Chain A
Amino acid sequence: MRAYTPKNDVQKKSYYTDRYWVAPQVAKSKVEDDAVFAADLKAIEDAKFKVLDSYIQVEQMVVYINPEDNVGVLEVLKNECGYTQLSELSAIDWIADRGGFEVFYQMLSMSKRKRLRVKCFIKEDQAIESVEKLFRSADWAEREMFDMFGIKVNNHPFLKRILMPDDWEGHPLRKTYPLQGDEFAAWYEVDKIFGKEARDIIGPEIRDTARVDRYDTERFARLGHEIPKGSEFDPDKEKTPLAYQEDEGVFLIEGFDEDKSQIVSDRKR
């Protein structure tokens, strides 16, 4: 059983004083501890590529290289070390801290049963070379990286947005992009379909998710309180029965009587 700690003053101090929570790092170990990874790292260094940093974390080797070496290093890993799959490729936004992005390539070797991550750091406006010639899976992944972060990829066969519309402005996965969208995003569909002059007519987006106006009969329906759209809602009035037919009946259709109807309680009937 867990040791008892008094919880009277638990609200008096906050858990985190930092503005942003920084995740603690998982323990790292040296590359020499694993013979397979040590051989892979040696193959990269033998091919005259500069390795800035390397360590093993969660049984995966992480290798930091220069961004201009990315195609060469991945070629060595694919052809000489048996890392035949590029399972993931994307970037991490470090613009506020370090003024650029960290691009990572997650590699998998089926024969060695090892995973390896190649990382490189690029400046905010710096382009990176495409690895699509080596791995076909990089095609869409690089398009997504361009779409979400705005990182230009040189020599990509078809670099255009993949998730957002072609005429979208901004790159949504950057830390500076607001979750609920900027001015352009807020009016995107109105501007595109009706034109900018329709903004006043249609109005801004309602972003309060908890906003429920039970007296608003324009936007909300209430089961059991059916009243026509736009009419006044009287809360004191009795609940209306579940009537989907008019009182005088419907032409050519037998009238529905709630009392005569049978409610089936046995689901397996």
Chain B
Amino acid sequence: MAQHQVNYMQDGGLPVALTSIDKVVNWGRSNSLWALTYGLACCGIEMMASGASRYDFDRFGTIFRASPRQADIMIVAGTLTKKHAEFIKRLYDQMTEPKWVVSMGSCANTGGMFNTYATVQGVDRVIPVDLYLPGCAPRPESLQYAVMLLQKKIRSEKGIKSQKPKRLM
């Protein structure tokens, strides 16, 4: 054996870390959550504020993308009308697996104050939701906390084994 003084098992010895594939994959997934720009109403303003310089979503690896094909997470920010319901389903289907959905704000959660004929009473009637974020509208801190909780959820998932795709039905 070589007689050098490097302790392989210590930090700074050599850049070696022992881990499982699951953890590496989930580390990558959870720290580069590219979000689809899905501002439907006033929650969208808070979502934009989260992405701007003061709250700075980029440091979480969350970068807003304008295409569902490049996005991992759909933040439904605002009121979903019945006219728009088919399009949110279509955009969700266009996102590549694995994908997650955050329902942001009261309107997206339950229809909120729009207890009318034209509003979908909760986006979970159309697409499967991973995380419900209450508030009207939630502060940017709340949205970032929600994304951090989603990261925690992603870390507990299986990274490699084929995931059962989430379907509402």
Contacts and interface: CB of A to CB of B under 8 A. Distances in A.
A221 B117 contact: no
| Most chain A CB inside 10 Å of its own CB: which residue of B111, B118, B131, B155 | B118
Contact of A172 (B110, B117, B120): B117
A244 B86 contact: no
Interface of B: 17, 19, 23-24, 26-27, 31, 82-83, 85-86, 89, 109-113, 115-118, 120-122, 124-126, 131-134, 142, 145, 148-149, 151-152, 155-156, 168-169
Interface string A60-78: 0000000000000000000
Given A180-B115, A206-B121, A245-B152, A185 B169 contact: no
A193 B116 contact: no
Given A181-B118, A185-B82, A223-B142, 13 more contacts: A180-B115, A180-B116, A181-B116, A181-B117, A192-B86, A202-B125, A219-B132, A221-B131, A221-B132, A246-B152, A246-B156, A250-B155, A251-B19
A194 B169 contact: yes
Contact of B86 (A177, A193, A205, A252): A193
B86 A189 contact: yes
B149 to A, nearest CB: 5
Interface residues of A, number: 36
Interface of A: 164-165, 172, 177-182, 185, 188-190, 192-194, 198, 201-202, 205-207, 209, 219-221, 223, 226, 242, 244-246, 250-253
B169 A198 contact: yes
B117 A179 contact: yes
Report the 7 A-B pairs with minimum CB-CB distance, sorted nearest first. A181-B117, A189-B85, A244-B148, A205-B121, A185-B117, A251-B23, A165-B83
A221 B125 contact: no
A49 B168 CA distance: 61
Contacts of B113: 209
28 contacts: A164-B118, A180-B115, A180-B116, A180-B117, A181-B116, A181-B118, A185-B82, A185-B117, A188-B82, A189-B82, A189-B126, A193-B89, A193-B126, A201-B169, A205-B121, A205-B125, A206-B122, A207-B121, A209-B115, A219-B124, A221-B132, A226-B149, A244-B145, A244-B148, A245-B152, A246-B152, A251-B17, A251-B23
